[in-house]
Chain A
Amino acid sequence: MTLVFVETDESGQVVLTSAEAVTFARTNADVLAGSTLDVAVIGALPDTATEQLAALGVETIHHLEHSDLEAYSAPAWAQALVDIAPETGTVLASGTPRGMELMAHVAVRTGSRMAANVVAADEEGLLRQVLGGTAFERLVLDGDLQVLTIAGHACTPEETTATSPEVLDYELDIAAEDLRTRVVRTEVHTVDGNDTSGLTQAKAVVGAGRGVGSENGFGEVLELVDHLGGALGVSRVVTGLGWRPHAEQVGQTGSRIAPDVYIACGISGAIQHMAGIEGAKTLIAINTDEESTMVQRADYAIIGDLHEVVGAVNEEIRNRRG
């Protein structure tokens, strides 16, 4: 069996990265030592999620719901997964913070090895991102059960012939010791805040780097974000200078994004930043340096000062709207 841990959002939809992980499991079934495609959902299982999973070719949905699992506690959630994990095969999740943490717990509890940020699997073993996505490590996980996380946007979700997945519900027994690290409260995001979901789900992201010049230099960039109904993403330099919160940081230690378009304004293209934008479908650079990595890697570029260029772009969009 290949078992995929699936995350759902507040509206009951399977999140994009989980749909990617399910697709990865299905399309690599011949080398993942799992002949069936099962998923585990912890918490509510709305019809929308079931329908999405059916479209993704899932055969069995293991539905794990218990009052002790309502507040997140990694050991308790991991043990719930271990209780249904196969003895032989693969357990995997997307490489989100939850996915990474849970798979590490599952690996320890099942005496298995784990590979994080896998991007491919074939007869020679697994290939995973290392060095912030600038290199790949080929490895083989020995043991009967292999535990993986799939790098965000390593594949595109693909629907297949729809299935009628069997839903299995469980009577769970949660150990008190596994609740020692339970969330005691969640402080909902505020506008200045820590919500990275907008950034990771956005179809258009406007990136801003040191080139904005100061904490007060984001005016044109934020207007462009508004015109695109997108999100602002910034480089590590920007958060390091305290101009914007870390939640907006894109890159190796920030969010990894996969928008339809990423417009990099005044960002030179450090390796750590490029690691975060690999999934962007179209890359546009606005930069004074024609030789910068960002311009060289872009699909389209404008050479010039970002304030002047973005200001003119905003004006053009306003003009076309009439």
Chain B
Amino acid sequence: MDILVCIKRIPDISGQITLDASGTDIDDAGLGHTTSAHEECAVELAIQTAAATGGTVTVLTVGPAEAVEQLRAAVAVGANDGILIEAEDPGAFGPEDIAQIIGDIVRDRAEQGQSFDLVLLGNDAADTGDFQVGIRLAYDLEYPVLTGIQTLTSSGGGAGSGGGSGSIEARGIGPAGTEVFALDLPAVIAIQEGGVDPRYPSITGRMKAKKARITEYVAPEPGTGNPRIGLELPPEKTSEVTILGEGPDAADALVDVLEEIGVIRS
């Protein structure tokens, strides 16, 4: 099964964030970059599924030139090659634009003889949290789409089916339990963290990533654009903590608080 995984370069926001001069984006000059947790799991599921079916994994991103780092990181853990659609200002693109760009690449690759059986994405990106690129892409491609999926089991199609045959079983968490879907391919599936543990790159993988084939395109001008007017940061919170004490001796005071709130079971 040949799989395309769409990932995104995002700032690592484990520290304090500030806005840039325009007020429409964060200042990420001093921040590291990574991919979203959901996307790391999507890459892992793609690698496992491709391995089980004798297929391939291609990773794709729409982003700045530096996003090649995230593509190579995915290759280092097992993806075969990457596609960089270079956009100097990715923030100018709305979810409709990103879906359209990915859809065009999928069609273009199909014309060149590389049809993807499955397109995986993260459920949503950790920075914008739009939660719609996968669904918009599926409609653009006229593929079925699922979201919130945590595990995949190939149930047909096999090696190098080349887009369009076979099916896949997908499982995700619903309100009443684990929901199981059976989906004909090709399909788009958005992955939710929690079903698999992303692997760490091996030394061999890192070496392979340095030499990996990354095909580059230039993104078209945004069509619909981003509806963002600006970003705002919440007011800085000043600490108003009441220290109840230190160590076990403070237990009595804490139980008083819990009794006051009324949460201790009688």
Contacts and interface: CB of A to CB of B under 8 A. Distances in A.
A13 interface: no
Interface string A118-132: 000000110101111
A183 B179 contact: yes
A117 B263 contact: no
Chain B interface residue count: which class?
35 or more
B264 A184 contact: no
Nearest to B265: A229
Contacts of A296: 239, 241
B244 A300 contact: yes
A140 interface: yes
B241 A132 contact: no
Interface stretch (B59-67, B68-76, B180-188): B180-188
Nearest to A202: B263
B242 A72 contact: no
Contacts of B224: 113
Given A298-B241, A299-B241, A181 B124 contact: no
Given A98-B175, A131-B17, A242 B197 contact: yes
Contacts of B176: 10, 186, 188-189
Interface stretch (A44-52, A155-163, A208-216, A310-318): A310-318
A56 interface: no
A309 interface: yes
A101 to B, nearest CB: 5
B237 interface: yes
B247 interface: yes
B179 A72 contact: yes
B175 A105 contact: no
A138 B128 CA distance: 12
Interface in B142-161: 144-148, 150
A228 B36 CA distance: 34
B32 interface: no
Given A104-B136, A186-B174, A284-B257, A138 B17 contact: no
Contact of A295 (B14, B241, B249): B241
B218 interface: no
B126 A132 contact: yes
Interface string B222-266: 001011111111100101111111111111111101110111110
Contacts of A135: 17, 19, 26, 231-234
Given A116-B130, A183-B179, A313-B255, A297 B247 contact: no
A149 B236 CA distance: 26
Contacts of A230: 263
A237 interface: no
Given A296-B241, A309-B247, A204 B263 contact: yes
Nearest to A126: B227
A134 B17 contact: yes
B166 interface: no
A139 interface: yes
A3 B111 CA distance: 42
A135 B230 CA distance: 11
Nearest to B266: A321
Contacts of A141: 227
A227 B265 contact: yes
A182 B184 CA distance: 12
A120 to B, nearest CB: 10
B173 A194 contact: yes
B162 to A, nearest CB: 21
Nearest to A195: B177
A247 interface: yes
B241 A302 contact: no
B179 to A, nearest CB: 5
A82 interface: no
A246 B180 CA distance: 18
Nearest 7 CB-CB pairings of A with B: A246-B194, A312-B248, A312-B251, A304-B247, A104-B132, A229-B265, A104-B135
Given A100-B124, A184-B181, 18 more contacts: A100-B147, A101-B147, A107-B132, A116-B132, A117-B129, A137-B231, A139-B226, A139-B227, A183-B179, A228-B258, A229-B265, A246-B194, A249-B194, A285-B241, A296-B241, A301-B242, A303-B247, A311-B248
30 contacts: A74-B147, A100-B124, A104-B136, A113-B96, A113-B224, A116-B130, A127-B232, A131-B26, A132-B129, A134-B13, A138-B232, A180-B183, A181-B144, A183-B179, A183-B181, A184-B181, A226-B265, A227-B264, A230-B263, A240-B197, A249-B194, A282-B261, A285-B241, A300-B257, A301-B243, A302-B253, A312-B251, A316-B251, A316-B252, A316-B254
Interface of B: 13-14, 17, 19, 26, 36-38, 94-96, 124, 126-132, 135-136, 139, 144-148, 150, 173-184, 192-195, 197, 224, 226-234, 237, 239-255, 257-259, 261-265
Interface of A: 7, 9-10, 72, 74, 97-98, 100-101, 104-105, 107-108, 113-117, 124-125, 127, 129-132, 134-142, 149, 180-189, 194-197, 203-204, 226-230, 236, 239-240, 242, 245-247, 249, 252-254, 260-261, 270-272, 282, 284-285, 290, 295-305, 308-309, 311-313, 315-317, 320
